[in-house]
Each structure stands twice: as structure tokens, then as C-alpha cells.
A and B are shown apart, each in its own frame.
Chain A
Amino acid sequence: MIYSVGENIYAFNSGIEFAQISRTKDLLANGEAAKIVTKEYNRFLSRDTATLGLTSDQYVNMYDYFQKATNVERKELSVRFLETVPLRDYHVTGVDANYSTIDYMGRTLAKMNIMPGTVGLAGDIDYFDRVGNKELTQFYDWRGFLSMEQTYHPDGSVALQTFFDIDGKPVIEIVHMFINGVVSPSMYKLLDFYGQDYVFDTQNQLFTFFLNELNSASQGVFVADRPSVVESVLGVVNPIKTIAYLHESHLEKNSITGEKGIKLAYEGIVAPKGKRFDLIATGTATQAAEIKQGYAVNATTGLQTASYPIDDTNKQTALTKLVYVGRLAPDKNVTALIEVFQNIHERKADTELYLKGYYASPEYREQIEQQIKQANLAEVVHVLDYSIDNSEIYQDASLFITTSENEGFGINALESMSHGVPVACYAVDYINENLVTNGKNGITITNRTPHNLAKLIIETFGDVKQVQALKANTLKTSQAFDDKHLVSQWQAAIKA
């Protein structure tokens, strides 16, 4: 079993989750047992995984596992038919589409919040005392069962969380008390797990225990896809193999000295003090070689990050619609991207830019929107909501642009290429020469300024034949990175 271990699967995901999903689906489609494993509690997980096309046997979440809820059919639980509400004694008042209240003699005893995105289904219930303090909150899982309850300290911070299995039996308690004077989760307790209680100081310790349970049920290759799961993955006793997968550059520039050094998050992987991973995998062979050369690690290899099915319907050769699909985040350097477009638009007024994705923060959103406004581009820059299926935006796209200062692989660029859309980007690690090669399947520039990139893009699109050649090559690149290739790489790495 190949376990791809991460934190969570969200409504809004990053490339890491997409890579895990792509990898797991490709492995399964090619006869390898594989599963995504997630650490964090998420009562919307079944909804979000379904949106991503995952079935319940393709992933396992730690809380679901202990709650015996890894495979539960959803049932719609209306707040109007909750068994916990004694209609003989209390009134239920529907206030609006978002919540109803439980009232007694004119006083609100409890507030029943509707499950987000549903009409009238139970989401969570806050119970209040006579002076309006929250006493208790009950959280319902998307699948329609009471999943967790929490009580509060007098200052309103969470005191105790109790998680239930689908039969209502408590299975996990999280105590919140002082750690260095700050109220934080200070104990994780597994209750009556095969007849015994287990106490853990941290969630990572509980996660280690859980991974060992998985390993003893079905011995596996454990892939740590995020630094936050490294400790737990290295704690698995007797796995087939442990692999750390680096989804981005392990290096960053020191903001003062300007020198490149290891990102703090990756220190435990590339420069471990304790246990080492059997293998460190990266999106490119280039990065793998660098790590092998620079650090005392066991073994490294480049392993394909993701694959996309090929769609060759896009015949666009004119420079009209430029696109970017991905997180709208500072590390993706979106400000430079808009400057590139600004340069292009000044020379070619019929161009438009489509950005599709979610902002990293409200502040960043504000910053980008301001930039667009000040550049007078509001009419021609369109920001589209994040969604899973991107085929529509690529249908008539001319070019994919990214100005990211580094990429572990560039799966959004690969997705673009699978639609026959060439990629323009800075010539940076590790996308340059690995996924994108200037003049072959895209446009890259070593002298990295928005002006230079814009200029090169316009020049390139001045020659239709060259654009057609680029488009043909993007499809070839996608073919080279197909699922068969991904799976054989992984198979070889596991056997090595």
C-alpha cells in the first residue's frame, strides 16, 4: 500500500493535494494499492473529497478512522427533525436560511446553524446559559451524524473536545489547557480503543499511533507530502519504505544576506538530526541531484508529481486570452504576473487576463485588486472562482503565464500543457528545463523582469508557425508525463 500522507483535503486545495490525488488515482488505475492519509479533523471531508472525485476507499482520515466513519453513507439530517430537540418542551424558530433557534418562554436556549451550502440541514448547535455564555457546541458531520462536541473555559476558549463514533460513543478527547501560559491542546486521549485508553501530548503523537495502525493492517510505503507530517511518518515502525516528497524548492533566499539556505520546514528532511527517510523525492531530477550532493541523506530521486489526461481541442494561436490557474499567493508572485500582462496589454489592446484560484488571504486580495485598479486593468483582468474542473478556461486560452520565483515541478503548467496551451514563465528552479523549455513547449526568460517576459511573449506570438510548434510540443510533454510514466517511476523507486 502506498500511503500519501498529508494534513487535510480542503474545499480549496493547493498543488500538494492535487499531486496526492493524481498520484493515488494513477497508482490505483494501474493496479497499485494506494491511499491518501490525512491528519486533521474535517467534518466536511466527505463533501470535499467527493467534489474532487475521490471515493471513500481512496483516502482515510485519522479522526474518521477512530470515529469508525471511514465509510458512511450521507443522510440528510434536517434541523426540524433532530432527535435531540424536545419539541414537546421547546419552540424551534426558523430565523433565516442560516440558522434557527431553540426557545423556551421567550429565551433562546440554543442556536442551530444550518450546514453551510444546504437548505435546513443540521450543521452545528450552540447551547447558551441564562446569561448568554456558550456552554456547549455540537458539530455535525456532513454525512449527518453528531461528530464532535466542545465545551468552553470561562473566557470562551475551547476547554474540551469530544469526538464520537457513529453510534455516539466517545472515542477521542482533546483537552485544552495552558502550554506556556497560552490555552492550547495539551492532551489527546484515545478512549477505549480495543479496550484501552491511550494518552498523547500532541496530535502528531496520536497521528504516529494511527499510521502504525494502518501499517500493521496493511504494511506500506509512507510518503510524507508535507513537512508537518514528517515526525509522524518517521515514527512508523517497520514500514516498507518512508519517502519525503518535496513539492517546492527546499531553498530560500535569506532576506538579509541574500544567500540561499534551507527552508526551516525542510531541515528535518534534508538535514535530519535523527531518523532519516529512506528516500527523498522531488518533482525533478535536478532538485534531487542537488539535495544528494549537498546533504547527508540516504537517497534521492525525481518522481513525477502528477499527470493529466490530454485534450487537444484548443487551436488558439492568437495572443488574446492569457490565463493563470493556481493559488493567488505571494509565493506565486502575482504582482509581477499582472505587470507582465500590463506590458502586453499596452502593446496589444485586445488581450485579456484570466486569473483562476483563491487568494491566500484577504489582505493579499486587497493588494492585488488595488494593483489591477491602479493599472487601469479592471476591465480586462478577470478573477474567476476556484473550481476543480479547469477545462473551460483552457478551451480558447492562448498562453499560460506564471511569474513564480520557484516551482517544485509546476503542476498547473502541466495541466495547461495537457490542453495544448503553451507556458510562459521565468527561467527558475525547478520548472525551467524540466517541465518547460524555452522555444520548445513554452517561453522562459533568464533575465527575469516583467518587461522582458512580455516582450518575448509578443515576439513569439508574432510567428503563428512557432506558436503551432509550441502547442504541438506541449501535448508531447504531457504525454511524457502521463499516468503510465508516473506509475512506473514510483514502482521503480519503491523497489530500489
Chain B
Amino acid sequence: MIYFINFGMPDNKSGIEHAQLKRARLFDKNDTSYYFLTRDWFRDLHVTARTAGVDDAHMINMFDFYQHALIVEPKELHVNDIDFGLKNLSFTDETDNNRFIVKREDNRMVARVNYVHGIKEVFSVEMFDGFGNLYRVDFYDQRGFRSLSQWYTPDNKIGTEAWYTPSGEVVLRNFHRTNAVNEVEKTGWLLSEQGGHVHQFDTIDELFEFFLNQINEQNDETNIFVLDRSLLADQALTRMRKQAFTVMHLHNSQAGDAQDPMNSVMNNNYEYALTNIDQYSAVVSATQKQAKDVIARFPGIRRNYTIPVGIVPDEMLNQKRIKTNERTFGKIVAVARIAYEKHLDDLVRAVAIAHAKVPEVTLDLYGYADSTNNYSEKKKVEATIKELGLEDVVTLKGYNSDVQSVLNDAQIFGLTSRMEGFNLAVMEATSHGVVGITYDVNYGPNEIVQDDINRYVVPFDDYKAMGEKMINVLTHKRTLQRLSTGAYDSAKRYSEENVWHAWKALLDDAKQLDAKLVR
């Protein structure tokens, strides 16, 4: 079996989730089974996963696994489905707070039942004892059963968190205690498998390692574990109890400064895994360029595979091409999180230069704002827009799951990142015939974008050169059309067939290798 490791499958996805989903579709098309192996507990995991196209049969979540809730027939849960164990209760609907207040006849508080606005499905219940203490808060899985209870301390803090089977048996707990400097922290996890062993773990990482071993030992095959979120299991995968084909999948630059891959400090997410890469069976890079650099710095790599994380579906390759003059003139777009590594204030500066020459130029930014440092990057971009007086030119559009129509209407796609692992957005823009103008940044943009064939690549950090190139293509309509056609053509490199071919090589290797030789 092949397993893709991640923490979950939320609605707000990063490139890693998009890459996993595209891979899953490809495996589906090629009748190859797989599982998403997810670590974290989310009450709506199955809903967001299903929305993303991952059904229950393709997901093993650690909590679900121990809660015996991998597959549960969903049922809607409303306030009258909750058994409070008391009679003659009164229910007051506080619609402003999206909750019911439940009281006894003598007005003592029984519970606050929090529901989803509108449909009034219960998602959590705050429970009170007969002496006015909030003693626990229950969280209901969206499939309609109590999944997690947070048991409170007398001074109103979370004491024990407990996860239950749908039939109400506790299987997993963690405990909160003060440490040596009197701060409350999670000091331990206790797993009581139904009718079986009790295991104790200091951290969720240790628990997840135990889980991975259990999954690996469920069958006699040499399983493949693709680590898409390195920090979830980079230690665990170096010491699986039963041999497995372990794959460290890079989704970003391995070097902190992608422009200096041999010497710069390591990307924190990959430092441990790459330092111990001889303990892995293989590394997957999304681009040839990255593969070359990684091997140069980490010669202990046992097997290397270059597999694009972007896949252009056959339907898209065969779509009707949209001419550049059918698109909004001067429309520049970027699809990226508003985050430090995307460096979008540089893009705004480049657009300012272009806008001065070509007044029709506008820039739309699609992507959710990174909350790091209290949204400092978003504030920086907004300040730059104000500084340059581009309030009517640059628009922050937020996260949009329908980028197709956006890309079918834009002429230029801008990218000013400090580093990348692949950049799905560039590939998608390319497959929609949008002309990219990007920094020469590792890895992805400078490989997907072939200078003067489907795009222009300008020197790293040189927003002035980028502005000039924008003016250049917008004022030379034939060049614009030539590059757009080149973009449509180049998308074939990421066809389903080509990417599957790359995966097939990895799968075949894993299968053919004697389990004893796998490392």
C-alpha cells in the first residue's frame, strides 16, 4: 500500500495539499490504491476531505483509527438529539450567539449547545454540573457523534482531553499539568486500544510514530510512505519497526536561501530529514534542478525521483485556447498566499512601473493572507500599494477556489517569490496560456517557465527588470501571443501520462526491491 502523510485536508489548502490531491486523481486514473494518512483531529475532517475529493475509503486519520470511526454513517445532530440525563429542561435559542441555553426547572444551567449558524447542527456542548461548574465541553464530529471531550479543572482550565468511540468508550487521552516553571502544558498521552494495550506517549509525535508502525504492520507488503509534511514524521520514518519504502517528498526549497543551495542554512522543515536522508529509501523532488542540487549537497541519497507535483489533466490540454486579445488588456494576476516568501510587495512595485507606461495595467492578488506576525505581510503589501498610490490598480481578492476563469481572462502572471518547491500556480497559469513573468527563483518557476518560449524570467529580486518586461510584452502584441501559445504548448510536459510515468518508476522500484534491502 502507498500512504501519503499529512496533518489533514482542510478547506484552506497550501500547495502541499493541492499536490497530494492531484497525485490522488492520477492514482485513481491508473487504478492504483493509496491512502491519505492524517495525524490531526478535526471535527469536520471528513467533510473538508470529501469536498476536496477524498472519500472515507481513502483516508486513515490517526484519531479515527483509534476511535473506530474511520467510516461512520453521517447523521445530522440537533439539540434534541442530545441526552442531558435530566427531565423538564427548558431550551432558549440565542440566535445571536448561535447556541441554545439549556436549564433545569429551577433555572440551574445544564448546558450551552453551540450550533452551526443556519442549519443548527450541534458542534459543541458546554456542560454544567448541579453546582454551576463547567465540567466539560463536548465536541461533536460532523458525522454526528461525540468525538472529543475536554474535561475542565475546578479553576476552569482544560485538564484532560479524551477521545471516544462512537459508542462512547474512551480510547485516547492527554493530560495537562504544570511543568517545573509552573506553566500548564500537555504532559502526556495515554492510548487505551479497545480491549487491548495501554500505551503512554510524551508527545503526539511519539503517538504518531506508534500509529505509523501499526499501519505498516497491518499487512505483509513493503508499504510505501510518502512524507508530504516532513515535520510530522521525519524522525519516525528513519526507524520504522518493519521495513518500509520511505519517501521524503520535497515541496519547497531544501535550502533556506534557495538561490544558494550549497551553502545556505537548511530549510528548517527539511534539515532533519535530509541530514538523515541515508535512512530513507528515496527522495522526490519536483524539478530536475532541485534534484541536482539536493544530490550535490546530500550524496547519501539512496534513490532520487523527479516527479512534478503539478499535473495538467488531459481535458485541459485539449481545451480551446483563448487568444491574448480575447483577454482583458493589461490584466496581471498572481495566485499566492500573501506571505513573506512570496515577496508580493516586489510584484506591486513592478506593476507600478508597468502601470506608469501602460495605464490599463491592473493587478489582482488571489490567496489567503498568512497570519504570521499578526498578518505583517499583508500589511506590508497594503502599505506598498498606498505608498505607490495604486489603490485603484491592485486588488487583494482573497482565496478563490475557481482560478480557472481568472486565468482564462488574464494576460500576465507575476511571481516574485524568494523560494519555491515547484509552484503549482505557475504551472496552472501556463496551462491556461497566461504569460508568466517571474524571478529566476529556485525551484520551479525557473524550470516551468522557459525564457522567451512560454515566459520571461528576470533576475532574482530585480522588480525593475520585471516592470520593464511587463511593458515589453504589453506593447508587443505579437510577442505576447507567441509566448501564450508557447505556454499552452509547454503544459504537455506535465501531462497525466508523463507524471504517471515518473510515479510508476518509483512504485515499480519499491515493489521489485527485496524487503530486506529496502531502507
Residue A464 at the chain B interface, CB threshold 8 Å: no
* Chain A residue contacts of B187, Cβ below 8 A: 129-131, 133, 135
On chain B, the residues within 8 Å of A187 by CB distance are: 129-130, 135
Give chain B nearest CB distance to A20 CB in angstroms.
31
Interface positions, chain B 197-214, Cβ under 8 Å from A, are: 197-200, 202
- Residue of B135, B157, B159, B184 ringed by the most chain A CB atoms within 10 A: B135
**Min CB gap B141→A, angstroms:** 18
- Chain A nearest CB from B291 CB (Å) reads 38
| Docked complex: A175-212 residues within 8 A CB-CB of B | 175, 177-179, 183, 186-187, 189-192, 196-199, 201
Q: Can you list the 6 inter-chain pairs with the closest CB atoms, starting with the nearest?
A: A199-B85, A129-B188, A197-B85, A201-B130, A177-B133, A129-B187
- What are 12 pairs between A and B in contact, CB < 8 Å? A86-B197, A129-B202, A131-B177, A136-B190, A154-B176, A154-B184, A168-B169, A178-B133, A186-B129, A191-B168, A201-B129, A201-B131
- CA A304 – CA B466 in complex, angstroms? 107
Q: Looking across the interface, which residue of chain B has its beta carbon closest to that of A205? A: B130
Q: Is the CB of A86 within 8 A of B198?
A: yes
Query: What would 19 more interface pairs be, CB under 8 Å, given A129-B200, A131-B179, A186-B131?
Result: A84-B196, A104-B200, A127-B198, A130-B187, A130-B202, A131-B177, A135-B188, A151-B175, A154-B159, A159-B153, A169-B167, A170-B169, A175-B129, A177-B135, A177-B154, A186-B129, A187-B135, A192-B168, A197-B83
User: How near does chain B come to A268, taking the closest CB pair, in angstroms?
Assistant: 22
Do the beta carbons of A186 and B169 come within 8 Å of each other?
no
Partner of A162, one of B86, B136, B170, B176: B170
Question: Quick one: which of B173, B177, B187, B188 has the most chain A CB within 10 A?
Answer: B177
Separation of A29 and B85 alpha carbons in the complex (Å): 41
A151 touches B159 (CB 8 A): yes
- A83 within 8 Å of B (CB atoms): yes
Q: Is the CB of B178 closer than 8 A to any CB of chain A?
A: yes
Q: How far is the CB of B112 from chain A (nearest CB, A)?
A: 16
Q: Is A109 an interface residue (CB 8 A)?
A: yes
Complex alpha-carbon distance, A104 and B151, angstroms: 28
Given contacts A86-B199, A131-B180, A197-B85, contact A151 B135 (CB under 8 A): no
Q: Which residue of A lies closest to B179 (CB)?
A: A131
Question: Which of B84, B167, B184, B190 sits near A127, CB closer than 8 Å?
Answer: B190
A383 at the A/B interface (Cβ < 8 Å)?
no
CA distance A191 to B179 in the complex (A): 34
Chain B residue numbers with a CB within 8 Å of A130 are 187-188, 202
Q: Does A329 contact B (CB under 8 A)?
A: no
Interface residues in B124-179 by Cβ distance below 8 A to A read 129-131, 133, 135-136, 151-154, 157, 159-160, 167-170, 173, 175-179
B315 to A: closest C-beta gap in Å: 50
Whether A89 sits at the interface, judged by CB under 8 Å, is yes
B192 interface residue, CB < 8 Å from A?
A: yes
- Given A160-B151, A170-B170, A199-B86, CB of A186 within 8 Å of CB of B133: yes
CA distance A186 to B154 in the complex (A): 11
Closest CB-CB distance, B255 to chain A, in whole Å?
35
A positions within 8 Å CB-CB of B = 83-86, 89, 104, 109-110, 127-131, 133, 135-136, 151, 153-154, 159-160, 162, 168-170, 175, 177-179, 183, 186-187, 189-192, 196-199, 201
Whether a CB of chain A sits under 8 angstroms from the CB of B359 is no
The answer on a CB contact under 8 Å between B153 and A154 is yes
Give bound CA distance, A160 to B154, whole Å. 12
| Cα–Cα distance between A129 and B159 once the two chains are bound (Å) | 13
Bound form: Cα–Cα A264–B141 in Å: 51
| Nearest CB of chain A from residue B68's CB, rounded to whole Å | 13
Q: How far is the CB of B197 from chain A (nearest CB, A)?
A: 4
B153, A136: Cβ atoms under 8 Å?
Answer: no
Asked, given contacts A130-B187, A135-B188, A178-B154, whether A109 binds B195 with beta carbons under 8 Å apart, the answer is no
Q: How far is the CB of A190 from chain B (nearest CB, A)?
A: 7
Q: Write the nearest CB–CB distance from B365 to chain A, whole angstroms.
A: 46
Measured in the bound complex, the distance between the Cα atoms of B154 and A175 in whole Å is 11
Residues of B within 8 A of A159 (CB): 151, 153, 159-160
By a CB distance below 8 angstroms, the chain B residues around A192 are 168
Bound-complex Cα distance A183 to B153 (A): 10
Contact A151 B188 (CB under 8 A): no
- Tell me, in angstroms, the Cα distance from A412 to B406 when the chains sit together: 96
Select from chain B the residue with minimum beta-carbon distance to A176. B154
- A175–B135 Cα gap in the complex (Å)? 8
Question: In the complex, which of the residues A109, A160, A178, A189 contacts B85, with contact meaning CB atoms closer than 8 Å?
Answer: A189
Q: Shortest Cβ distance from B165 into chain A, in angstroms?
A: 10
Chain B residues 287 to 320 lying within 8 A of chain A, measured CB to CB, are none
Q: Report whether A85 and B198 are in contact in the complex, using a CB–CB cutoff of 8 Å.
A: yes
- Chain B residue numbers with a CB within 8 Å of A131 are 177, 179-180, 187
Complex contacts, B159 vs chain A, CB 8 Å: 151, 153-154, 159
Complex interface: chain A residues within 8 A of B153 (CB): 153-154, 159
Chain A residues near B173: list those with CB within 8 A: 135-136, 151
With a cutoff of 8 Å between Cβ atoms, the chain B residues found around residue A83 in the complex are 195-197
Contacts of B196 in A (CB 8 A): 83-84
Alpha-carbon distance A168/B200, docked complex (angstroms): 20
Chain A residues near B176 (CB, 8 Å)? 154
Q: In angstroms, how far is the closest chain A Cβ from the Cβ of B403?
A: 47
Task: Please determine whether A186 and B177 come into contact, CB atoms closer than 8 angstroms.
Answer: no
Q: How far is the CA of A85 from the CA of B200 in the complex (A)?
A: 11
Cα(A159)–Cα(B176), bound, Å = 12
- In the assembled complex, which residues on chain A have CB atoms less than 8 Å from the CB atom of B202? 129-130
Nearest residue in B to A110 (C-beta to C-beta)?
Answer: B200
